[in-house]
Amino acid sequence: MRVIRRAEELGKRTAKFYIWPRFGDEVKLRLTKDKVVSFLWQHFLLLISLYVMTLGVAVCVRSHLGSCVISVLPYVFDQAGRQGMVPALTIGQYTCIMNFILVFGQILVLRRKFQLVQLFQLVIGFFFGYLIDLNMFLTTWLVPDALWMQILTQFVGCTILGFGIAFEVRCGSVTMPGEGFPVAISKVTGIEFPKVKICVDTTLVILGVAACFAFFGAWQWHIVGVGTLFAMFYVGFAVKQVSKRIGWFNKVLHYRPGFRRYVFGLARMIYKKK
């Protein structure tokens, strides 16, 4: 009898423990839910920021005055692929490859100091490349013929890119591979990030020019042109100006009540159907 009573008491305690969570467990569960929702909302806004950035990249390419720095090499290989010199991949696909190389470069530079969470840059880089191709498709109608139209297109593209970068930085996720590589070099060498960033961007442009001569035997001004030089200076200026005026974005980033109710309401509905 004692054994049976002991088993019943133990069963009641076990049932009580699993059925009625303690206050601390409820707090932990709520914190976990908040973290999940915060992560989803943060990266949803990041995805929108990436779309804006890639729209700016696509518009710059359409200007035919020179692409922005991040797309110089992919654009060269895209054009070479159209002539059968290299695999016929898109600008976005070559951008994905370049982003992978930049992340691998970070691993080589930082070695044991490289944080595994930074591998998430590969995911960001993949979406960035995919969205470039999407926006290249959506801007096929944009064919500026006159010089003033090309200049205006380049200016608008760089401005849109500046807006996208400013929002992307505010999202506070991992950096883009194009920024992560200079950050890694800056950490190892102790050189200030802006100086390293300028050197890396200049190197990418020089490699783009070298690739033009290697594939086509001449400088391709519609790939690396005056628009590229303009983008190197103006985009940074645009990012600074936009960043000063988007303090409201922090409120958007931290305001999630409606989104929280929607996500958990949808989860409950799916669970009930099961």
Q: Per the domain annotation, does 30 fall within a domain?
A: no
Residues of the chain with pLDDT under 50: 2-4, 6-8, 10-23, 26-27, 29
147 in Cβ contact with 222 (< 8 Å) = no
19 Cβ contact partners less than 8 Å away, ≥ 6 residues apart: none
Q: How many angstroms separate the CA atoms of 117 and 226, rounded?
A: 37
Q: What is the pLDDT of residues 130-164, one digit of tens each?
A: 999 999 999 999 999 899 999 999 999 999 999 88
Q: Per the domain annotation, does 166 fall within a domain?
A: yes
Question: What per-residue confidence (pLDDT) applies to 33?
Answer: 59
Q: How many angstroms separate the CA atoms of 106 and 5, rounded?
A: 63
143 Cβ contact partners less than 8 Å away, ≥ 6 residues apart: 62
Question: What per-residue confidence (pLDDT) applies to 156?
Answer: 95
Question: What per-residue confidence (pLDDT) applies to 4?
Answer: 46
Q: Per the domain annotation, does 256 fall within a domain?
A: yes
Q: Per the domain annotation, does 16 fall within a domain?
A: no
Q: Per the domain annotation, does 7 fall within a domain?
A: no
Question: What per-residue confidence (pLDDT) applies to 260?
Answer: 52
Domain limits at 220?
44-273
Q: What is the pLDDT of residues 69-83, one digit of tens each?
A: 989 999 999 999 999
Q: How many helices (H) and strands (E) does the chain have?
A: 11, 0
Q: Per the domain annotation, does 10 fall within a domain?
A: no
Q: Per the domain annotation, does 86 fall within a domain?
A: yes
Structural domains in the chain (count): 1
Structure tokens at 262: 């929607």
Q: What single DSSP character describes residue 115?
A: -
Q: Per the domain annotation, does 210 fall within a domain?
A: yes
Structure tokens at 233: 């200076």
